[in-house]
Structure 1
Amino acid sequence: MPAHTRCGVLLVNTGTPAAPTPKEVRKYLGKFLIDKRIAPMNRAAWWLILHLFILPSRGRKSAAKYEAIWTDEGSPLNVGHEKLVSGLSAAFGEAGFGNTVEVRYAMSYSEPTISASMRELKDCGCKHLIVLPLYPQSAYSTTGAVHDGVERAVRKIKWDGTYELIDNYHDNLTYIKALAASIKHAGFDPESDDVILFSFHSIPLVDIEAGDTYELQTGASSLQIASELGIDRKRWTIGYQCRFDKGREWLSPYSKDVLARWAESGVGRVFFVCPGFAVDCLETLHDVGDEFKPLYFEKARAAGRPVSDDHFVYVPCLDRSKAHAKVLYEVTSPYVGAWLDD
C-alpha cells in the first residue's frame, strides 16, 4: 500500500445535548429515544407518547442534571472524545504510522454526526475505515446502533472505500490492565476488605432473549479485572444502572439494590467502577455522586452503621487518559496494520 494512502479510525459513542437547556436536551433525547433499537413499542405509538408526555418532563429534569456537570469547554462527553482523538493520533504517530492514519470521533445521536465525520475522513483521502464503537461490551442497542449509522452514512456520502466495525473489546488485555490499574490508583487495596461494584448500563431482557451476548461480556470483563487485581469472588459483584423505562424487564441486579444490600449488611469500602463507559458522562458524573453515593450512605445510616466520605469511592472512567489512548491504539492498530500491509 502506498505510504500516502490513508486509513481512517472513527470512534463512536451515543451522544450529548449541544447545551444544558431543556430545548437542546429534548432535541437530543428525541433522536435517541425514537431509534428502533431503543423504542419499547411501535414507532407511531411511541412517537406520540415520547413527544406528548416523556420529552416535556424529562427535558427539564435532564437539563438540570446536564447543567450540573457542564464545563467551560462544553459537554464533558465531547471534550473527552476530542482529547481521545488527539491522544490516539499521537499514539499512531509515535508507532511509526506517520500521516497514514486519520482519527475522528462521532456520535450516534448528536454532533458530530457519523456521516459528517466520515465525510471528513473521505475528504482527507481515507480509502479504508476502522469503526470502533466506544462500548467495550457490545449490545444490540449500542454497537448495533453504530452499525446502522455507518450504513446510513455510507449511502448518504457515497463512501467509495472499504470499512469494518470492531464489535467489542471486552477482553482486550490492555483494557483489562488499564482498568485494574485505575482501580488501584483510586486507592483500592487488594489485601483489605475493600469491595468492588462493577456497574454497567442495563439493557432490556428481550434483547438477551433474542441472542444479545452483552451479559456474557460484562461478566467476562469483570472476572478478568478482578483476576488482574488478585481478588476472590467474594470481593466483587456486578450491577446494572440506567433503565430507560419501567414498561419492560431490564437486566439486573440493579446497582442501587446491590448498594442498599451492602449498606445494610456491612462491607468494607465500596469502589464503584463503570467498565462499560469509556468516557465520563451524565450516567457517571451525575448519577454516581448525586444518586448512588447518597443512597448508600442513607441506607448505611438507617442500618446504624457509621459512614464517612471515603467509604464510597467512585473510580473515574479511563476517559481522556494516556492509558485509554493506549487501549484504543492496541484495539485498533492490528486492523489498521493489516489493511496497510495488503
Structure 2
Amino acid sequence: MQAPDRCGVIIANTGTPKEPTPSAVRSYLRRFLMDRRIAPMNRLAWWFILQAGILPKRGRVSAEKYQSIWTDEGSPFTIAHEKLAARLGEVFAQEGSDTLVRCAMSYGVPTIRSVVRELKEAGCTRLVVLPLYPQSALSTTGSVSDSVERALKKEHWDVSCDFLDNYHDNPTYARAIAASVRHAGFDPDSDDKLLFSYHSIPLTDIEAGDTYELQAGASSLLVAGELGLERTRWTIGYQCRFDKGRDWLSPYTTEVLSRWAEADVGRVFFVCPGFSVDCLETLYDIDYELKPFYYDKIREAGRVPTGDEFVYVPCLDRSKAHVKVLADVLQPYREGGC
C-alpha cells in the first residue's frame, strides 16, 4: 500500500536578531542588507559602506530599539510565528490531515534551509510555502522565493513545491483586518479616520514590475468596503524608508499625519495590513516615533492633545482570527494533497 502524502507547510517572514545586542543586530542586518534584492548598489561597494558606516551605528541604535520591545520569552516576533505555526498545525491535525507546519525566517532563525531539511527528513512528500506578506514585493516575497530555491538545491530535494505569492485580496483576510479595526474602537458611523500604513518600497522596484502598490490599494479598498467607509474617511501612507538616497513609494505616513493634524480630523486609527505580525516597525516605530510625531503636529497646529486622537490597531499576530486567515489561504493547496 502506498504511504499517504505528508505535506510540509512553511510560513516564512523576515526575522529578527537572535538577541537585542549590537553584535547580534549587526549580524542580522549584514545578512539582510547584503541580500541582492535589498542592496541599493554594486555589492562590493555596498559591503564596504555597510562595514565602515552603516552597521557600527545602526547596530547600536537598533539594539536599543529591540531592547525596548524584547520580552522574557525572547523576540515577540519569533514567538508569535512559533505559536502561529503550532496553532495552524493543530487545526490541520483536528481535520485529520498529515501536515507539518513550521515557521522560517529569511534572515533570522530558524533559517529557511534548516526548516526545509527538517521537513525533508520528516518524510514530507509535498511542500507549501506561504510568505507572511499579504501584499507581495520583490524585496520580501521575492527574497523568500530565492531562499527556498537555494535551500531545495542545497538539500538535493526534488519535491513538489507550491509557493503562495500573496493573499492581498483574500476575503477572510479583509474581514479579519476590518474586525480588528472595529475591535480597536473605530466607529464607522462617526468622524473617525482610518490610515492604512504599509512598508514603503523603492520606486525602482515598481518600475521593474513590482505590483505591491496595486495590491496595497486593493487590500485597503476591501477592508474599507467591509467597514462601509466612504473614500473621504480613509487613506494610504507608507512608512519605513531605508535610505534617502533613492526615491521611495509615497505619500509617506508622516506626511498624511501632518495634514490630518493640521486639519483637525478627529480620531485617527492607524492600521498596518501589510505586517502580519507585530514587529520593530510597529511595536517601536508607532509608539515611540509616529504617535509622538502626530501629537507634536497637533501642538504645532495650536491645539492640546487629549491622548485619544491616535489609536493603533494591532496586527493579527498570533490570534485565532489570523490562524483562520492562514488556514483559508492554504485551503486550495491543502485540498491538493495536504
TM-score normalised to the size of structure 2?
0.98
Distance 1:290 1:89 in 2: 35
Amino acid at match of 1:157: E
Distance 1:288 1:94 in 2: 38
CA contact (8 A) 2:69 2:283 kept: yes
Query: Which deviates more, 84-93 or 199-208?
Result: 84-93
Distance 2:114 2:198 in 1: 29
CA contact (8 A) 2:5 2:126 kept: no
CA contact (8 A) 1:69 1:76 kept: yes
Corresponding residue number in structure 1 for 2:238: 240
**Percent same amino acid among aligned pairs?**
65
Q: Helix, strand or coil: the match of 1:308?
A: coil
Alignment of 1:112-131 (within 5 A): 112-131=110-129
User: Is residue 2:27 matched to residue 1:27?
Assistant: yes
Corresponding residue number in structure 1 for 2:316: 318
Deviation of the 1:3 alpha carbon: 6.5
Deviation per residue, 1:75-108 (Å, 9 max, x gap): 11100001101111122123332xx100001000
CA contact (8 A) 2:5 2:337 kept: no
Corresponding residue number in structure 1 for 2:193: 195
Aligned residue pairs total 338
Deviation of the 1:4 alpha carbon: 3.6
Distance 1:279 1:2 in 2: 39
Corresponding residue number in structure 1 for 2:12: 12
Alignment of 1:147-226 (within 5 A): 147-226=145-224
User: Is residue 2:297 matched to residue 1:299?
Assistant: yes
Deviation of the 1:160 alpha carbon: 2.8
Corresponding residue number in structure 1 for 2:105: 107
Alignment of 1:140-151 (within 5 A): 140-151=138-149
Amino acid at match of 1:245: D
Q: Helix, strand or coil: the match of 2:197?
A: strand
Corresponding residue number in structure 2 for 1:52: 52
Query: Which deviates more, 16-25 or 297-306?
Result: 297-306
Amino acid at match of 2:116: M
Distance 2:91 2:3 in 1: 18
Q: Helix, strand or coil: the match of 1:52?
A: helix
Deviation of the 1:164 alpha carbon: 1.4
Distance 1:293 1:53 in 2: 29
Distance 1:300 1:244 in 2: 26
Query: Which deviates more, 203-212 or 156-165?
Result: 156-165
CA RMSD between the two structures? 1.1
Corresponding residue number in structure 1 for 2:66: 66
Alignment of 1:261-340 (within 5 A): 261-340=259-338
Where does structure 1 differ by over 6 angstroms across 4 or more consecutive aligned residues? none
Q: Helix, strand or coil: the match of 2:256?
A: helix
Distance 1:46 1:270 in 2: 39
CA contact (8 A) 2:191 2:265 kept: yes
Any gaps of 5 or more consecutive residues in structure 1? none
Amino acid at match of 2:47: W
Distance 2:43 2:146 in 1: 17
Structure-2 change in CA distance of 1:166 and 1:2 (3 Å) = farther
Q: Helix, strand or coil: the match of 1:126?
A: coil
Distance 1:218 1:283 in 2: 17
Deviation per residue, 1:54-86 (Å, 9 max, x gap): 000000000000000000010111000011011
Amino acid at match of 1:257: E
User: Is residue 2:110 matched to residue 1:95?
Assistant: no
The partner residue of 1:230 within 228, 231, 238 is: 228
CA contact (8 A) 2:133 2:166 kept: yes
